[in-house]
Structure 1
């Protein structure tokens, strides 16, 4: 375990997450959120599923930042579904706190697109979450995993990888 400046113990990331974070470019897309009462339990601690929703919002906004609306990808007949999710909860976010959700496309392997995530304090001193999400391209009409990404979708994702 590691500690932050406030001496709170933190768990290290899982091996899959740590390997991903070590082998990816350093550029992150940052998305700010605030923990509102509806994000928390009775103790004022953010519910674990809220972090996943924040991560998806950050990914959609990351795509939007390069001019790609997620609805446009869907209109191309390609949906990007979660195939794998690995998340490490280091410490909780509490009601009223503002945090930054950082995301980046780590790499593509055929129709599998891996994204890294970190949720940190605004000043970067506290790490709340590290995560890896693997998406796969699915043909919306057939409901099956595609053998390859449609050229327009691949071009968009290559553009994202190049912009980071």
Structure 2
């Protein structure tokens, strides 16, 4: 008698090549309006404003899962930016309302990688894309942590899963 394994059809490996298991694209959305103090003399949003909006979105994302940034600091941890890459696609102008989308895409050790998109509310226009890398720093020692403290790791795991 033949084993049951003989009757199970097997897919050729080419059927799964190129496929990867990825988590669904879950973005946190933070809506902002371009006010006069965000713009230059021509009414175009100043390039540094986008970076401020991205940080606000990141802090609000933490708040959305119940974590105040001050709590991380109280646990002895800071999250400074160590790398920043910004691509400006189209200008945002005075009075426009846009959405800053962010998500944590990687938590390798103490290196935290965030993606950003700044888009029109309807999602049709893309203004900015960016990637920010943060590291965890021990506030007492002033050095990069080699391992995340368990409470901080649990918090950040919520964002990348």
TM class, shorter-length: 0.7 to 0.9
Give the structure 1 partner of residue 77 of structure 2: 78
CA distance in 1, matches of 2:83, 2:23: 18
- Give the 3-state SS of the residue equivalent to 1:147 in structure 2: coil
Residues 153-164 of structure 1 aligned to structure 2 (within 5 Å) = 153-162=152-161
Task: Give the TM-score normalised by structure 1.
Answer: 0.83
Q: Is the contact between residue 25 and residue 106 of structure 1 (CA under 8 Å) also seen in structure 2?
A: no
Moved over 6 A (4+): none
Structure 1's unaligned 5+ residue stretches are 1-22
Give the structure 2 partner of residue 65 of structure 1: 64
Structure 2's unaligned 5+ residue stretches are 1-21
Against the structure 1 CA distance between its residues 108 and 117, is the aligned structure 2 distance closer, same or farther, given a 3 Å change threshold? same
Residues 28-67 of structure 1: CA deviation (Å, up to 9, x unaligned): 0000000000000000000000000000000000000000
Q: Is the contact between residue 83 and residue 133 of structure 2 (CA under 8 Å) also seen in structure 1?
A: yes
- Give the 3-state SS of the residue equivalent to 2:80 in structure 1: strand
CA distance in 2, matches of 1:41, 1:155: 41
C-alpha root-mean-square deviation of aligned residues, in Å?
1.0
Residues 1-164 of structure 1 aligned to structure 2 (within 5 Å) = 25-162=24-161
The alignment of Structure 1 onto Structure 2 pairs a total of residues equal to: 140
Larger Rg: 2
Q: Is the contact between residue 103 and residue 114 of structure 2 (CA under 8 Å) also seen in structure 1?
A: yes
CA distance in 1, matches of 2:104, 2:154: 14
Q: Is the contact between residue 24 and residue 106 of structure 1 (CA under 8 Å) also seen in structure 2?
A: no
- Give the 3-state SS of the residue equivalent to 2:106 in structure 1: strand
Residues 106-145 of structure 1: CA deviation (Å, up to 9, x unaligned): 1111100000000000010100000000000000111111
- Give the 3-state SS of the residue equivalent to 2:92 in structure 1: coil
CA distance in 1, matches of 2:69, 2:34: 24
CA distance in 2, matches of 1:41, 1:24: 39
- Give the 3-state SS of the residue equivalent to 1:51 in structure 2: helix
Q: C-alpha displacement at 1:160, in angstroms?
A: 1.9
